[in-house]
Amino acid sequence: MKIKEGFILRSICGEHVVVGEGLTQVNFNKMLSLNETAAYLWKEAQGKEFTKEDLVQFLLDKYEVSPEQAASDVDKLVTIWIQEGVVVE
């Protein structure tokens, strides 16, 4: 999967948000708020192809979390990203 072109992560007033910039063909008139961990994963995935397994490994490398918990968290996050239209499979 890959983050769609034109969506970028910004820090606004201490919050991490994904916004669409220069997306005239896409109706994305809202911001997607990310917590610190989701923002970390976004930064690691931005600009390249990635899998859920890649995201799980990023979590395992940075945080003290079980593989099962990391996989569960990644599943939930990727589902949201796909539903919001910022990631393509």
What the block records as the tokens of 47 is: 């600009």
| Domains defined along the chain, listed by start | 2-88 (1.10.10)
Half-sphere CA count of 57, side-chain side, radius 13 A: 7
Q: Give pLDDT, residue 21.
A: 78
| Residue 8 or 53, more confident | 53
Least Cα distance to 39 among 84, 9, 2, 83 occurs for 9
- The full DSSP string for 30-67 is S-EEE-HHHHHHHHHHTTS---HHHHHHHHHHHS---H
Q: Is the pTM of this model over 0.85?
A: yes
Residue 79, classed as helix, strand or coil, is: helix
pLDDT digits (tens, 9 = 90+) for 1-41: 999 988 999 998 989 999 887 655 455 566 799 999 999 99
